[in-house]
């Protein structure tokens, strides 16, 4: 068996074409979706991510602005800026790029963003509504993963999904979204005994642990769907995922590559959330 590759870059491009049409209609009706990104400090990876988000937004017709703050910014200064953006009717989505400098508590910042502008989907109200299956902004990477599965008509209901990783950004929410789709979900993590015993039973295996090529073919059930969320840079500068791609492609039915896999979908879902915010469709608190 040779797995079919789910190319997230191509799928994201298709979605952007659809979104461009939707945004064009909104603009004709006098509504231009606007995303404001806040970048604190000068983390090169964060700056690169922000550039990618700005480029994708521009491609679909979403306007964006970048607020850059120095590494020495205090928590209070950042809170004041977010409150201003919360109150600005011209700003539909607010994204504070993580990670933040050590003097700023990330969770406090997330909770300061108005839920109606929480296009990252990290606010406790957004997470709570996701847990109960209500309309809300979904966290972008998990949302992208579900969209990738559905794009290939991969059956989720009744399937055993195993997630390796329990982060608040990917692991926990993607498990909840799979549960909402009626999968049976198992969470594994760094303290899990006999990891293979779980992964070898997975119909859908999602690797989000941040260790290059940690999941080899002997972890994978024959015919499983393998979603690789990891982005790791090797000593030679090459990007690779958490899954040994060459091994997985010989055993899985579907597999995502790194790069050109989950990453581009994360940005596409951010744009979808921004359009949703502009249209006021999210039934979230103010």
Told to judge if 238 belongs to the known catalytic residues of this protein, a careful annotator would answer no
Could you give the residue ranges of the DSSP H alpha helices within the chain? 8-28, 44-60, 75-87, 106-112, 124-131, 140-151, 171-180, 195-199, 245-248, 262-279
Q: Which is the catalytic residue, given 10, 28, 42, 53?
A: 53
Told to judge if 193 belongs to the known catalytic residues of this protein, a careful annotator would answer no
Q: Is 263 annotated as a binding residue?
A: no
Q: Which is the catalytic residue, given 97, 172, 244, 251?
A: 97
Q: Is 166 annotated as a binding residue?
A: yes
CA nearest to 257, candidates 266, 246, 272: 246
Query: How far is it, in rounded angstroms, from Cα 225 to Cα 233?
Result: 24
Q: Is 211 annotated as a binding residue?
A: no
Three-state SS string over 138-169 comes to: CCHHHHHHHHHHHHCCCCCCCCEEEEECCCCC
State both tokens at 96: 């504070």
Give me the helix-helix angle, 140-151 and 8-28, nearest 10°. Answer: 110
Query: How far is it, in rounded angstroms, from Cα 230 to Cα 257?
Result: 10
Told to judge if 53 belongs to the known catalytic residues of this protein, a careful annotator would answer yes
**Burial bucket for residue 26 (CB in 10 Å: 0-12, 13-18, 19+):** middle
Q: Which is the catalytic residue, given 118, 120, 228, 242?
A: 120
State both tokens at 213: 């090529």
Query: What b/e string do you get for 141-156 counting C-beta neighbours within 10 Å, with b at 16 or more?
Result: bbbbbbbbbeeeebeb
Fill in the DSSP letter of residue 113: S
Q: Is 253 annotated as a binding residue?
A: no
Q: How many residues does the chain have?
A: 286
Residue list, annotated binding site: 165-167, 231
User: Annotated active-site positions, please?
Assistant: 53, 97, 120
Q: Residues at the annotated binding site for NADP(+)?
A: 165-167, 231
């Amino acid at each position: 068996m040779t797995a079919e590759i789910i190319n997230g870059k191509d799928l994201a491009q298709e979605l952007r074409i659809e979104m461009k049409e939707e945004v064009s209609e909104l603009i004709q009706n006098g509504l231009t979706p606007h995303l404001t990104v806040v970048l604190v400090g000068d983390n090169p990876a964060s700056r690169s991510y922000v550039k990618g988000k700005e480029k994708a937004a521009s491609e679909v017709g979403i306007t964006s602005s970048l607020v850059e703050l120095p590494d020495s910014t205090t928590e209070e200064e950042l809170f004041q800026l977010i409150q201003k953006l919360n109150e600005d009717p011209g700003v539909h989505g607010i994204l504070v790029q993580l990670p933040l400098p050590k003097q700023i508590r990330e969770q406090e910042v997330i909770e300061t963003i108005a839920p109606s502008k929480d296009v990252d989907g990290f606010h406790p109200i957004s997470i709570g509504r996701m847990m109960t299956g209500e309309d809300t902004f979904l966290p972008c990477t998990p949302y992208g993963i579900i969209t990738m599965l559905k794009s290939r008509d991969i059956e989720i209901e009744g399937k055993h999904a195993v997630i390796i990783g329990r982060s608040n950004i990917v692991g926990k929410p993607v498990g909840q979204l799979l549960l909402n789709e009626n999968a049976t979900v198992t969470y594994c993590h760094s303290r899990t005994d006999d990891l293979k015993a779980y992964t070898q039973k997975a119909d859908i295996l999602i690797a989000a642990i941040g260790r290059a090529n940690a999941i080899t073919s002997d972890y994978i059930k024959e015919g499983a769907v393998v979603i690789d969320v990891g982005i790791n840079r090797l000593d030679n500068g090459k990007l690779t995922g958490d899954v040994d791609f060459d091994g997985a492609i010989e055993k899985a039915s579907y597999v995502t590559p790194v790069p050109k896999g989950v990453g581009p979908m994360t940005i596409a879902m951010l744009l979808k959330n921004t359009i949703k915010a502009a249209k006021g469709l999210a039934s979230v608190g103010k």
